[in-house]
Structure 1
Amino acid sequence: MGGRLGGVGTGLALGGGLSYLAPQYGMACDSFKELEVVLPNGTITTASATSNPDLFFGLRGGGGNAFGIVTRYTVQSHPIGKFYAGTLVYVLDHSQAVLDAARDFIAYNTNPKASIMATYEVLTTPDVLLNLDKFIVVFLVYDGTEPGTAFRNFTQIPHLLDTSKPNKTYTEVAEMPIPYTAELSRADNVFRIGAHRIEGAAGLQRPRELYDRYAAWAAANKGLYVYVALNLYPVARSMTDASRARGGNAMQMPDGPWLWVRYILSTPPGLLPGVYDKVQASFRAMVEATPSAPGLPLFLNEAAADQRPLSTFPTYSRLQQIKRKYDPDGFFVNRTGGWTFD
């Protein structure tokens, strides 16, 4: 179990790790069997379900630098065969239709072999020619060669491109291109995350509410970013069940379905400090205008530092105790960046 991109390192699992296989097997951290850890006092120890189980619990999705440095992973592997996978590309004339399809997939799909990721991209180029500064990419992945009707709500919407086909290896799935221009421009990337329920009338309208605020911000701030993106990550009931069956993780995720929403802001090099601070503050305010649902944990891998994602975990007080036990002098608080419990 890894991430959705082949180039992402193994450290992502310490912060949770979200894979296209997650609806079947849980988060990447749920596949940990044993970890070798160097503690702040220099001791090399083992963390597993039977050896230092509290440390093992904290490292399964609670981040690594708060407790120790993980130097070896033993993980449970899972058999895989061929996949039906690819991308659908739409113009934003169909933004609402794709939002509704994604919402319905999150709310009603019960096939753990089917997985999606929907991303709404806006470039800083002027919106003057056929809305070509905006596009939607939906990633479709099915663990098998015949998805049946799992993705029908997406494929029946008019689209510009469909690269989906059967008999792909998982390597090919993990190398599906993502149009993140910041990777080419070396722009400054800032991630923010939200967590939202989709229950009831208000919940079912939440994806549209999130998108409307995001699109309005993108239109009002042209020229201050390279690109911005809004990504929808389903958290299926099968994913939370699989996590719990493997002992759970530091997030102790409530039963699905619900969704994580990831926002990306990529600013160009050379912005004056005052302008940079202003656009970051405005972007943060846009995200916070739709507060995350109480009781849902923020995704550590893709949260901003000021969001204090660890404090959103229902296990936060337990994690604080584990932190004090293994790092009583606050070594990592004073000497490393990243997530802390202080």
Structure 2
Amino acid sequence: MSRLVSLLLPVLLLLVSQAIATLFPESNQSAPKAALQACNQLAVSLGSPILQTSGNSYEKAATNAWNLENGQYQPTCIVFPTTSKHVQIAMKAIYAAKSHYAVQAGSHSAMKGWNTVQDGVLIIFSNMREATYDPVKDSITLGPGVHWHDAVTALEPFGVAPVGGRVGDVGTGLLLGGGLSWLSPSQGYATDNFKELDVVLVNGDLVTATATNQFSDLFRALKGGGDRFGIVTRYELYPVHTGTKDEKNWFGGMLLAGKYQPIVIQFNSSAEALLNATARYVREIDDPKAVLLSTFSNARTGDSLAPLYLMVLFYNGVNLPEEIFGDFLSIPAMSSTLGPMSYFDVSETLGLGNDRGYVQRFGASALVGDEETYLEAFDHWMNFTQAFQGDFNITTLAFTPVPNSQIQAGRAKGGNIINAPHGGFAAVQLAEQFNAGLNRIPPQVLEGLDLLFEQIPPSPGLPLYLSECDPRQKVFESYGDYELLKQIYAKYDPEKFNVKHTQGPVGL
């Protein structure tokens, strides 16, 4: 397509750039000394096995991050808490020493440095993975280290589920980043479903935050504001009564569209049909029972990449209504898994997604507009993929509709710090998995990503999705309650300790 070819030139020019990349962020010379001070104190106050500096458990934890880049960091010591008290003790020592630190829940972040640390203390929640249901309180309680597959599996016999992740390996960090779920159209963002949170503040104090107590501002900030305000050690959530795995009260599955053939610089007719159908769905459909994920991937097959276009369609009912999903069902499909499903089946659709050993990178946008808006986004993504295809194992462009029903459901539960102005937009994910054997992202690819973010900017007023962003994107500044977020942060971390000692999206 001539439009796509004309877009290729800017990225080709990037290939001759001479940017210098480093494996790890620059480390302050005082960082190793501060970390050693904190670890020495914790060796006394916590002891083994809670505190470890070497050995099999240390090595497994240090290298187990989903993103290979994060598996190359070597923390000075690792804390394996089993209680909130252990986290308090750790944070008091870290705060006193002014040491760098990081927190790891599910370890699934694609962002370099977000869930690990070099010359610092890593707190990892692999020993706090409970998932329970209290029928008297009608509440779900999750430990911070549980993964979504394990949580859904543990709760399924009770006929309830949390509003959580769509991939089984993802952990509870998704909740703090907002959280897009198969249940979101009817229940809001995952973060909208907090009842109360136990939080260890940066100075080591433990508080319980709810929507109505003295920490209600902290509670709101944690509903989409990430982990900079404190470390959550217990989540109490509103459950969704979805039924057991024997109750087939959903219908849907996956449709694979398009031809599996080497990538070429032209539109595949299935891609154009799926983009147009997605644009119309986002613009016109506002049914809380309807769920859609549209993904466009190019996956390595030998020496080339081949397109895989996937439609994931669900309806909380006995079929897929023609007036909602007709455009998608008319696209020729190579394969289909459509049929009656329980919510447990729905939650298992995308699998665990737990393949380790690859460098990963995400990026985010948010779009509202006509079909041309989506076609142009696809053009730019294809252009980027073509320019750097030799580096990728898989590259993906995905659209998750955020209907107005989702925004209204969240507001009915008290709202969140994201405070999207309206529904009827698509959260856009840009995801790259790099070739096996590559242990860092080439500098020219990072420059290409920067250009891609400029070419697919969020529509005015729409928020970026924290859990799927690039660490260089100004996610918090896209929030409707950004100014309030800054005020709350100034209250709970007046020294900006977390900004100085953790990495994440800029803006606070």
Distance 1:184 1:70 in 2: 26
List 4+ stretches of structure 1 deviating above 6 A: none
Displacement of 1:4 after TM fit?
1.3
User: What SS does the aligned partner of 1:151 have?
Assistant: helix
Instruction: Give distance in 2, aligned partners of 1:125 and 1:222.
Output: 12
Contact 1:63–1:339 under 8 Å retained in 2: no
Structure 1 match to 2:232: 70
Provide the aligned length of Structure 1 versus Structure 2: 330
Residue 122 of structure 1 aligns to a residue whose secondary structure is strand
Matched residue, 1:56? 219
What is the percent sequence identity of the aligned residues?
35
Are 2:303 and 1:137 equivalent residues in the alignment? no
SS at match of 2:499: helix
Q: 2:289 aligns with which of 84, 99, 113?
A: 113
Q: Distance in 1 between matches of 2:492 and 2:419?
A: 21
Instruction: State TM-score, norm by structure 1.
Output: 0.91
Q: Does 1:34 align with 2:193?
A: no
CA distance in 1, matches of 2:492, 2:482: 15
In the alignment, does 2:331 pair up with 1:157?
yes
CA contact (8 A) 1:323 1:341 kept: no
Task: Kindly report which structure 2 residues correspond to 1:1-342, keeping only aligned pairs within 5 A, or say none.
Answer: 1-51=163-213, 52-64=215-227, 66-81=228-243, 82-91=249-258, 92-125=268-301, 133-149=306-322, 150-166=324-340, 168-177=341-350, 184=355, 186-198=357-369, 203-271=370-438, 276-339=442-505, 341-342=507-508
* Aligned equivalents of 2:451, 2:506: Cα separation in 1: 23
In structure 2, what residue type is equivalent to 1:135? L
Q: Looking at both structures, which has the greater relative contact order when contacts are Cα pairs under 8 Å and sequence separation is at least 6?
A: 1
1:170-225, CA deviations, whole angstroms, 9 ceiling, x for partnerless residues?
A: 22212113697xx5472211000001112xxxx33111110111112222322121
Deviation string 1:38-96 (CA, Å, 9 cap, x unpaired) is 111211111111111110110001112x1111111111111114211210001144110
Q: What is the Cα deviation at residue 169 of structure 1?
A: 2.1
SS in 1 for 2:309: strand
TM score, norm. by length of structure 2: 0.62
Residue 126 of structure 1: how far off its partner (Å): 6.9
SS at match of 2:276: helix
User: For the Cα contact (< 8 Å) 1:15–1:300, is it kept in 2?
Assistant: yes
Contact 1:6 1:171 in 2 (8 A): no
Long gaps (5+) in structure 2:
1-162, 244-248, 259-267
Mark the structure with the bigger radius of gyration.
2
In 2, Cα distance between equivalents of 1:60 and 1:270? 37
**Cα 1:35/1:340, change in 2 over 3 Å:** farther
Q: Is the 8 A contact 2:358 2:439 kept in 1?
A: no
Change over 3 Å in CA distance of 1:293–1:227 after alignment to 2: same
Query: Does structure 1 retain, via aligned residues, the 8 Å contact 2:176–2:222?
Result: yes
Cα offsets for 1:96-141 (capped at 9, x unmatched): 011111111111112210110000001244787xxx7111011111
For the 8 Å contact 2:368–2:459, the answer to whether it is kept is: yes
Q: 1:223-270 CA deviation, whole Å, 9 max, x = no partner?
A: 121111000011101111111111110100111101111001222244
Residue 67 of structure 1 contacts residue 327 of structure 1 at CA under 8 Å; is this kept in 2?
yes
